[in-house]
Amino acid sequence: MRFICATIVFHLVSTQIAYANDVMLLRLHGSNTIGAELGPELVKSWLYHKGYTDIRVKRIKSEEIEISARDLNGDKKLVEIHSHGSSTGFKSLKNGVADIGMSSRPIKSKENNSLKKFGDMTSESSEFVVGLDGIAVIVNKSNTISEIDKETINKVFSGKITQWSQLNERLSGKINVYARDKKSGTYDTFKALVLGKKTPLISTAKRYESNAELSDDVSKDIHGIGFVGLPYVRKSKALAVAEQGTLAKVPKSFDIATEDYALARRLYLYSANTGSNNAIKSFIDFSLSKKGQDVVGETGFISQNPRSQIVDLNSGFPEEYLNLTKQSERLSINFRFKKGTTMLDNKSKRDVKRLVDYVSKSENNSKKVMLFGFSESSESLPVFALDLSVYRVDWVSDLLVRKGIDPVSVRGYGDAIPVASNEDAGGRHKNRRVEVWLK
């Protein structure tokens, strides 16, 4: 992992030291996926770019650290990071002991209701996507299987399949299941995407608070299988994952950036006080900026800074779509929508500016933008699915035209090319999209 600047001193000690007149700038509580590495790296980079010096990290206890720094006056400032799981972040916000909640899954309705005194935590002013991640299904490197579908993952982690021979006749032995603990947003996301509400995790699963420890133990167990955030694959092997109607994909950065990978997910920061606390707003603004997103990429997660590449397409896709995208590059940005509407979600609202900035660069301003809109099968009658996809792509096109970008191709294809299963809410959200291509 790259450090931000060689002149910064990061010091890690194991004992707690009390400082007189210390001022707490920020308190971040919640997701271990974010808090273990990404959160500290973002905080250190933010402090450095704000002109702070003597930046040090102190471990308080397991999954809790304190970062100290000196401001321009030489006064010591502190940032607290507690990483005990996404649900704990929302509890800390409710109890007033955290300024920012870190979560590796969207806030639940029950949690949002518990914080209603702060307003709607799903609003654009309170919910921030800080980066993207893919949940990787991992096995020991000596395991010969290379891909698995979501239905099979469900059966393995629920205990309906217990022997490796049930997956591959050449394998033998009992399957040992490894999983994150109940407080983990990674587990919540895995349960939502794979197990569903009614299917429990197998009772014999070994549970972990830490992604890294789980992955390291799977890497030592020839009969092990588990799931972790993408940066924590480490010495294990990530399997390609397929879902209904899609090809199996290994979790790669571009497919996670577009959220086309079956187990892609968003990483969130939540706060209700961005208008009243300058430090909160400053840190979140930095985290969402290009520099902050560079840090996201450097820590192994997926940055939201746009990039483009040539992608392979299925020959069964609509002929017009294939012809228009031939010899073109797809952008890593997808605009996504609330069900049955042309309303962009919070991430997409911020992605408009990212797209405009990207296309306006001198090396890209000769490229032409193409937009392709899609719906999902359950949000409207089939006869209206095409219309809804057209309305969406027209809406994005109008937004870009107002900002000086005039797309050369604007098409809607209804629910013709799903990138995820329509059997769950997460998959349906992925299918409600407008793709961006450059030619």
CATH of the domain at 49: 3.40.190.10
Say what the pLDDT of residue 21 is. 53
Cα separation, 220 vs 235, whole angstroms: 9
Say what the pLDDT of residue 59 is. 96
Say what the pLDDT of residue 19 is. 42
Q: How confident is the model at residue 411 (pLDDT cuts 50, 70, 90)?
A: very high
Total tally of structural domains belonging to the chain: 3
Q: How confident is the model at residue 197 (pLDDT cuts 50, 70, 90)?
A: confident
Q: How confident is the model at residue 358 (pLDDT cuts 50, 70, 90)?
A: very high
Say what the pLDDT of residue 400 is. 97
Say what the pLDDT of residue 274 is. 74
| 315 and 428 housed in the same domain | yes
| 180 and 248 housed in the same domain | yes
Its domain, for residue 318, covers 306-438
Work out the average pLDDT over 163-185: 95
Say what the pLDDT of residue 13 is. 40
Cα separation, 29 vs 102, whole angstroms: 6
| Average pLDDT in the chain | 91
| 316 and 408 housed in the same domain | yes
User: Can you say whether residue 113 is alpha, beta or left, with left for phi > 0 and alpha for psi between -120 and 50 degrees?
Assistant: alpha
Are 135 and 230 within 8 A, CB to CB?
yes
Is 245 a residue whose pLDDT tops 70? no
Work out the average pLDDT over 168-187: 94
Q: Counting beta carbons within 10 angstroms of the beta carbon of residue 220, is it exposed (0 to 12), middle (13 to 18) or buried (19 or more)?
A: exposed
Say what the pLDDT of residue 381 is. 63
**Least confidently predicted of 110-119, 277-286, 382-391, 408-417:** 382-391
Residue 258 lies in a domain: no
Residue 154 lies in a domain: yes
| 90 and 107 housed in the same domain | yes
Buried b (16+ CB within 10 A) or exposed e, 136-163: bbbbbeebebeebbbebbbbbbbbebee
| 122 and 158 housed in the same domain | no
**Least confidently predicted of 166-170, 227-231, 318-322, 424-428:** 424-428
Residue 1 lies in a domain: no
Cα separation, 439 vs 437, whole angstroms: 7
Whichever domain contains 316, its CATH number is 3.30.1330.60
- The pTM of the full predicted model, rounded to 2 decimals, is 0.84
Work out the average pLDDT over 375-395: 85
Q: Which pair of structure tokens corresponds to residue 229?
A: 């955030």
Residue 423 lies in a domain: yes
- Among residues of the chain, what percentage have pLDDT more than 70? 94
Work out the average pLDDT over 309-317: 91
Residue 181 lies in a domain: yes
Residue 88 lies in a domain: yes
Residue 7 lies in a domain: no
Say what the pLDDT of residue 426 is. 79
| 109 and 178 housed in the same domain | no
Residue 261 lies in a domain: no
**Least confidently predicted of 36-45, 172-181, 193-202:** 193-202
